[in-house]
Amino acid sequence: MKLIFLGAPGSGKGTQAEVVTNKYGIPSVSTGNILREAVKNGTKSGLEAKKYMDAGDLVPDSVVIGILKDKIAGDDCKNGFILDGFPRTVAQAEALEEMGVEIDKVVNISVADEKIAGRMGDRRVCQDCGASYSVTYKPPKAEGVCDSCGGKVAQRDDDKPETVKSRLAIYHDKTAPLIGFYEKRGKLVTVEGQEEIADTSKLVFAALE
């Protein structure tokens, strides 16, 4: 099964991708997590990506497409995968088609803009494994410590209020057109993001049946 999770930053797509990963046993591929890891390790693509990420801008298509292509060619992706945060532009979606990747479904998690800032202020992420948490809805069992790997859980720099506004504007400009792109191909299912993670998961599983 090959799935795409689409949605604004802070819509909960990463959290839902993790839930579906656990149930279906297919890996979730987050380009954001791969890029943050590359920045941490100081690799060539990490160094190139950092200035865009810090500003809340999209990393150039050429960099992200290359990273994604390498990742899904890996053995762990041979039975399927969930793409979380890719594609984010029509050019990326076209590149995926050119790679010959047949997507089964695109789950679009819809959340009103007014709710996004609050959700992003609430979000915390493990700096080692990328697992997502929420101060209100899904705090780690021990404060600041990842339940899965024991890594440090903290707020992402680009989740701070000054960056959130521009990330949302970029989402509407560059990423939201993908809703129509996949609708035309008959792949799109839209789920209204709920307050509680488990309530959204129920809708996501129903949409995947």
| Residues with a known catalytic role | 13, 88, 123, 156, 167
How many CA atoms lie less than 13 Å away from 78 in the CB half-sphere?
3
For the beta sheet containing 2-7, the strands, ordered from the edge strand earlier in sequence to the opposite edge, are 28-30, 81-84, 2-7, 105-110, 188-192
Contact pattern for ligand AMP over residues 138 through 177, marking x by CB under 6 A: --------------------x--------x----------
Q: Which residue lies nearer to ligand AMP by CB, 92 or 201?
A: 92
Output the smallest distance, CB 167 to ligand AMP, in A.
6
59 near ligand AMP (CB under 6 A): yes
Residue 88 sits in the site that holds ligand AMP (CB under 6 A)? yes
Q: Which is nearer to ligand AMP, 36 or 200 (CB)?
A: 36
Strands 188-192 and 132-134: unpaired
Stretch that binds ligand AMP, among 37-45, 48-56, 103-111, 181-189 (CB under 6 A): 48-56
Q: How many CB atoms lie within 10 A of CB 159?
A: 21
Q: How far is the CB of 13 from ligand AMP (least distance, A)?
A: 8
Which residues does 166 contact at the CB level (< 8 Å), separation at least 6?
55, 56, 57
CA dihedral 193, 197, 202, 207 (to 10 degrees): 40
Report d(CA 39, CA 45) in Å as an integer.
Answer: 8
Among 58, 120, 153, 164, binds ligand AMP (CB under 6 A): 58
Whole-number Å distance between alpha carbons of 110 and 115: 11
Residues 91-130 that bind ligand AMP (CB under 6 A): 92
64 lies in the site for ligand AMP, by CB under 6 A? yes
Give the separation between CA 96 and CA 84, rounded to whole angstroms: 14
How many residues touch ligand AMP under the rule CB under 6 A: the total is 17
Footprint of ligand AMP (CB under 6 A) = 9, 31-32, 35, 52-53, 56-59, 64, 85-86, 88, 92, 158, 167
